Structure 1
Amino acid sequence: MPRSDRAREYSWNKSEENSLVGSIVQEEGHIYSLAATNDLVFTGSDNNHIRVWKNLNEFSEFKSNSGLVKAIVICREDNNKVFTGHQDGKIRVWKTSHKNPRVYTRAGSLPALKDVLKKSVKPSNYVEVRRRRTALWIKHSDAVSCLSLVEDQGLLYSASWDRTVKVWRIHDLKCLESIKAHDDAVNSVVAAGSGEGLVFTGSAEGTVKVWKREVRGKRTTHSLVQTLLKQESAVTALVTSHVAVYSGSSDGAVNYWEMGEKKMLKHCGVFKKHRLAVLCLAAAGELVFSGAADKKICVWRREGRIHSCVSVLTGHTGPVKCLAVAAPSGEEDEDGRDGRLIVYSGSLDKSVKVWRVPCHHM
């Protein structure tokens, strides 16, 4: 990237601890989801559009026929394949063109049509999703609220308001398992890497659950190993860091857990600064970011087991719905050290804001 472009994108005032360095305004849709990779930012909105931004300028766009875009994940290892989760219960798959990286075409959906046709013949493949209503177990029957990728395992997890979490194999888009995870809408799913094989789910019923993944040949199964939280407030967001698991709630609180004895997670505390529901979380190093319905983003620094709010990022005029954190590639401070994190925040005010947060907070 030319130096002038980089300066335009990430220009910032060194006298400030945190700096708003740019803003993307999308007039025709409220932003419900975003994802960032390398120098691209993907945003999903309630008008079914997915837009791609480069250096804060629109780079590309593609659109589904229906379904507010509630979740976006990018598969870096497979030709930048993009998965989007929608209000209509569908997961759509998109790929970039080899000839033109600005062109995204729909490469399929989950479940694949051939699997739907194959499964629909057998009555035992239907499960009750509501009173007197059945559906194929491989299909979500309500909004897809969250997606999580485990690329080293070739797996995609989808959480839904239909109370299930489904497990998909990326290379052939096959549904491997459907987990009846909660008794109310599942708002968040986070799958850890291949190390411990743990998957975390959070629900409107106020619980956070831990699932253990076991892969035996072509079979993948998940078993419930721990319930971390039972509360009246809905669990609205989850994120994992290198040492902890964090959950955000509709009462504005953030709970966290660390791995304790016998490989069981132990509740280590709760912190709160938001007046309204925490809608999204992100983590990087010793920093945790919480975005909320009160239009604010809190930056928390972890020291031991104490979390201090070191900054509040303000500027959105609507609820902060989604967050992504990235380190600017190839950028260093003048003294040669890696300088600051880039934080993207998407809001129902139809904007994405780009912030620079010093790594010395970490």
Structure 2
Amino acid sequence: MKDGEGGGGGRGRAMLSKLFQTERSSFGSEDDDVSPRGSGSPCYHSDKNLTSADSSPTPYDMSPSPFLKSPWTLASPAYPFPEDPTAGLLGSLVREEGHVYSLAASGELLYTGSDSKNIRVWKGRKEFSGFKSNSGLVKAIVVAGDRIFTGHQDGKIRIWRVSSKDPTVHKRVGTLPSLKDWLKSSINPNSYVRVRRHRNTLWLRHYDAVSCLSLDKENGLLYSGSWDKTFKVWRLSDCKCLESVTAHEDAINAVAVGGGGVVFTGSADGTVKMWKREEGRHKLVRVLMMTEWAVTALVVGDGVVYAGTSDGLVNFWEWRRRGLEHGGVLRGHAMAVLCMAMAGRLVISGSADKTVCVWRRGDDGEHVKLAVLTGHEGPVKCLAVEEEEEEEEGGGAGEGEKRWVVYSGSLDRSVKVWRVTEKVAENGGVHRTPLHVPRSTYVY
């Protein structure tokens, strides 16, 4: 990431530069290759939690023909699973072609995106399909019905659809904004906005990397956040850009839909902002947090909002009688929190310290750290979660307990697959998986 070019250069963002060093992609052609296979509450922080990335940047390998030979292998554990079947490492999808930047789980399928510009599709932890864009590493993926939306480093959002004849074939069916809308707006002088000195651009397009995507299924909307400091609102029915909001003073790293027309944005400028859609326009409701640390991840659950920051902390807010109030801080990482996910009562965070932390939120709002998942050799950049189907016989989980499969994508070029549960030990103590296994340590 280059400071001062589009994405800004805030103090919090500077400490993450080693994790995001990439060459800016110009707005290339639309030709894409398709392959069938192959006032805010306080934020608390401590200086001891600030640790910069200790690994030197690895050059990105661009694979010109990624589908001629699959660069993925499913590395199953060579050891027996732990006796406790409710937790542990299930396997590792090892990538040889690029760092993993984005994940999305939908039903039986897992989509993985990387800086090689490829999107891989997995089914049952086996390679199922794949497709590729000619420009822009894949920074975000969301699935809406039969369409897959991908956000890219080159500022574009691409739309893909599964073939009705062959489920392994994915075809690009559009780009946001569409060429038609772009041409129509380009002839109207009022459609241009000033983005920097001596440069104007159309308001309906991102002119810097699309860093995050979030779906509002209730209202049929897609939100995109960008390093250009704006978030945009797209109508899913016709892919029209309805609104562009200049939301922050630095790059937007996270956007999360909260329901009821409420949207949250987190930025490298150190703020978390809450927006509400009224009469078709988004208005700023309040600033939840202002800090010197970059806000790097957001996730919204039932009555709670979590924000991860570059100092390794996770702040959270809860809906109470007086509205959204600061509830506390989760301290589990030594370096920047880069991604977050929720599953039932669980909140999961991935970090530049190469670990994944799992907390369980109780009815009283208290959080118990259930697990620290270790095994990655690089920063954990993205997470995805899906509920594990119950087995017909046995299954390990107790009655009424839910088990989840957690996917963690890392800059070590791998995706690890974990099983976690909401179970809390009755007698306290620590449960450890065998020491020769990448450990999943439960703390009560």
* Aligned position for 2:54: none
Residues 207 and 230, structure 1, Cα contact 8 Å, conserved in 2:
yes
Work out which of the two has the higher radius of gyration on C-alpha atoms and give 1 or 2. Answer: 2
Percent identity, aligned pairs only? 58
User: What RMSD, in angstroms, separates the aligned Cα atoms of the two structures?
Assistant: 1.8
CA distance in 2, matches of 1:65, 1:179: 28
- Greater RCO, 1 or 2 (C-alpha within 8 Å, sep 6+): 2
Shift of 1:31: 0.2
Residues 331 and 339, structure 1, Cα contact 8 Å, conserved in 2:
no
Residues 287 and 361, structure 1, Cα contact 8 Å, conserved in 2:
no
Shift of 1:260: 2.6
CA distance in 1, matches of 2:273, 2:350: 22
Identify which of 111, 114, 118 aligns with 2:180: 114
CA distance in 1, matches of 2:317, 2:376: 30
Letter of the 1:329 partner, please give it. Answer: E
Shift of 1:37: 1.0
* Aligned position for 2:408: 345
Paired residues for 1:226-241 under 5 Å: 226-241=286-301
Deviations 1:50-92 (A, max 9, x none): 000111111001000100100000002xxx2000000000000
* Aligned position for 1:161: 227
Change (3 A) 1:361 1:156: farther
Alignment of 1:245 with 2:305, yes or no, is yes
Identify which of 50, 60, 64 aligns with 2:119: 50
Change (3 A) 1:111 1:73: same
* Aligned position for 1:302: 361
Shift of 1:308: 2.4
Shift of 1:164: 0.2
Shift of 1:18: 2.3
Relative to the length of structure 1, the TM-score reads 0.91
Paired residues for 1:66-81 under 5 Å: 66-76=135-145, 80-81=146-147
Identify which of 28, 32, 36 aligns with 2:105: 36
**Gaps (5+ residues) in structure 2?**
1-75, 426-444
CA distance in 1, matches of 2:424, 2:251: 35
3-state secondary structure, aligned to 1:191? strand
Relative to the length of structure 2, the TM-score reads 0.75
Identify which of 258, 269, 272 aligns with 1:208: 272
Change (3 A) 1:265 1:105: same
Alignment of 1:13 with 2:82, yes or no, is yes
CA distance in 2, matches of 1:12, 1:326: 20
CA distance in 1, matches of 2:85, 2:352: 25
Alignment of 1:84 with 2:150, yes or no, is yes
Residues 296 and 320, structure 1, Cα contact 8 Å, conserved in 2:
yes
CA distance in 2, matches of 1:331, 1:229: 43
Shift of 1:269: 0.7
Paired residues for 1:137-286 under 5 Å: 137-193=203-259, 196-214=260-278, 216=279, 220-262=280-322, 264-286=323-345
Letter of the 2:136 partner, please give it. Answer: G
Residues 401 and 423, structure 2, Cα contact 8 Å, conserved in 1:
no
Shift of 1:13: 2.9
Shift of 1:40: 0.7
